[in-house]
Amino acid sequence: MTQFQINDPSLESQWRALILFGKNSATYKFAFAKSLLELVDKETTNISLSKLSQPFSKNIVEHLKQNDKQGNAKSSSFLNVCRNHINGEISDEELWLKTEKLGFVNVVDAFQNLNGSQIPNIFYEKNYQSGKKEIVIKDNLLKLKESFHFQNFNQEVEARWNLVETAWNLNINPNLLEVKYDENKSLFFLENNFMRRTDITSVRDSLNGYQKGKCFFSFKDISVVKGAPNLCEVDHFFPHTNKTLHNSFGANIDGVWNLVLADKDVNRNKSARIPEKRFLQRLFNRNEFYIQSKHPLAETIINQTGKTTQKRIEFLNKQYQLALNSTIITWKPEFELNGNF
């Protein structure tokens, strides 16, 4: 169990833990997750590897076109098949056949494992008996489909995939890595030594899983789907009005460490006020979730707030005291549910 799951044994938490904290030796788990979400949304309960090969290979091919490195291995027969398809050397049908043979060698067994053991409530079982090669969807995944948070999962998986592959493909020294925030476009991006910009992914999609799909302050359910009535907003825990003050002490107010998602009404009520200090612990916990999950928001937060846990605690306390000195009055939401991190 991860710290992320303590006090939260929910199915949503288990799914998000697999995506955010599972082993990242290749990006197959993200393609597999997106395929599961797509097929279960179509009421599929028994999924043959033959059927799974189509969305699985499609997801891999789409990402390969953007970033060629999709794993840590020096070579991969399956990725080479996908590259051949991109180059027009093999047909869709041949891609699907070879995906069925090569693409699922490890991912079906590994996907539901976290920290060396299987999650408590698995989402599917293998059935490779009597010549069959299929997975059988469990009630847990069907229940997850009925969850409010299901609508956000595909975008959360895509955002996590984008972050992982970006770190691999840019090959940036972790000590120099800084994911930056474009407030106007609500995007995370990186710049290389020549100031060339690489857009990575949506800020909302990247942050939402680590907040368990909840408003940071009220703990209401929030959405990251465009057009949704409860579409969340990106908020600065320490507000813009403190930017000059904080920058004089070396803190980047627009840094990942200071960005949270909030219900739009809660965010507008908060405005530029400083949250009560009890919320600082939640900010610390959320940032530690990033650090435990690796790539590349983790390195960015470490570089922005401190190399050790103690230094990160001291950093947040210092920033809070600086903010409090300039405002005196603190804020809390008018309505608040119990949080679990």
The answer on pLDDT for 176 being more than 80 is no
pLDDT class of 276 with cuts at 50, 70, 90: very high
pLDDT at position 140 over 90: yes
Identify the residue with better confidence: 196 or 15: 15
Examine the pLDDT at 131 and tell me if it is beyond 90: no
| pLDDT score recorded for residue 194 | 65
pLDDT tier at 1, thresholds 50, 70, 90: low
State pLDDT tens for residues 291-337: 998 777 898 999 999 999 999 999 999 999 988 888 878 999 999 99
Which residues touch 4 (CB under 8 Å, ≥6 apart)?
13, 16, 17, 20, 21, 210, 289, 292, 341
Judge contact between 302 and 310, C-beta under 8 A: no
Greatest mean pLDDT range, 89-93, 162-166, 178-182, 246-250:
89-93
Q: Write down the residue that tokens 């579409």 correspond to.
A: 231
* Residues facing 48 on adjacent strands: 134
At 283 the three-state DSSP class reads helix
Predicted local distance difference test score (pLDDT) of residue 44: 80
Higher pLDDT, 103 or 242: 103
What would the mean pLDDT of 156-180 be, rounded to a whole number?
Answer: 83
The pLDDT of residue 3 is: 84
pLDDT band at 47 (very low <50, low <70, confident <90, very high): very high
**Confidence band, pLDDT 50/70/90 cuts, at residue 246:** low
β-strand partners of 47: 135
Distance CA 157, CA 136 (A): 22
pLDDT at 172: 67
Q: Which of 203, 224, 128, 161 is nearest to 34 (CA)?
A: 161
